[in-house]
Amino acid sequence: MSNGRTGNGIRVSMMDDIQYENYRRMLRRKELRMRRFVLFVAILIVVSAGWILLTGFTSHAETDDAVVYYKYYTSYYVQNGDTLWDLADSYLDDGGHYTSATWVKEVIAMNSLSRDGSIKIGQHLSLPYYSTEYKCAF
């Protein structure tokens, strides 16, 4: 590269052919990087907009028709003639959380009863049940 001055005092930089080609390659690489960046940003915008359109307008709230059941436990003293199967019929809910057999198995496990589920008059039991009423412990 040679530097020189024109007749009017303006400094001029001159490049040879190799320097000029290197300069042109550098400009092409910059332009290619810029195009790739713009393409990346455009794809990112399209994907983000698609994600918002697909998930942004759907509601995840429960409908008013949904019934919520809360699980509670109650104390019960066995009376004459009680069986776990009779108690299961009394404490099963309409929500289908238990069958009689699963309820009896849970009561046997909770109260450390024998496998046959025999109970005695006056025995204290903890019994699970479901209710749609929310009961605060305070």
Give the model confidence (pLDDT) of 90-108 as tens digits.
888 767 778 888 899 999 9
Q: Which residues of the chain have pLDDT under 70?
A: 1-13, 57-64, 94, 137-138
Q: Are strands 11-14 and 2-5 parallel, antiparallel or unpaired?
A: antiparallel
What pLDDT is recorded for position 11?
Answer: 63
Rounded Cα distance between 129 and 69, Å, is 10
Q: Which residue has the tokens 């020189």?
A: 4
Rounded Cα distance between 133 and 138, Å, is 15
Q: Looking at the whole model, is its pTM more than 0.75?
A: no
3-class secondary-structure state, position 29: helix
What pLDDT is recorded for position 1?
Answer: 46
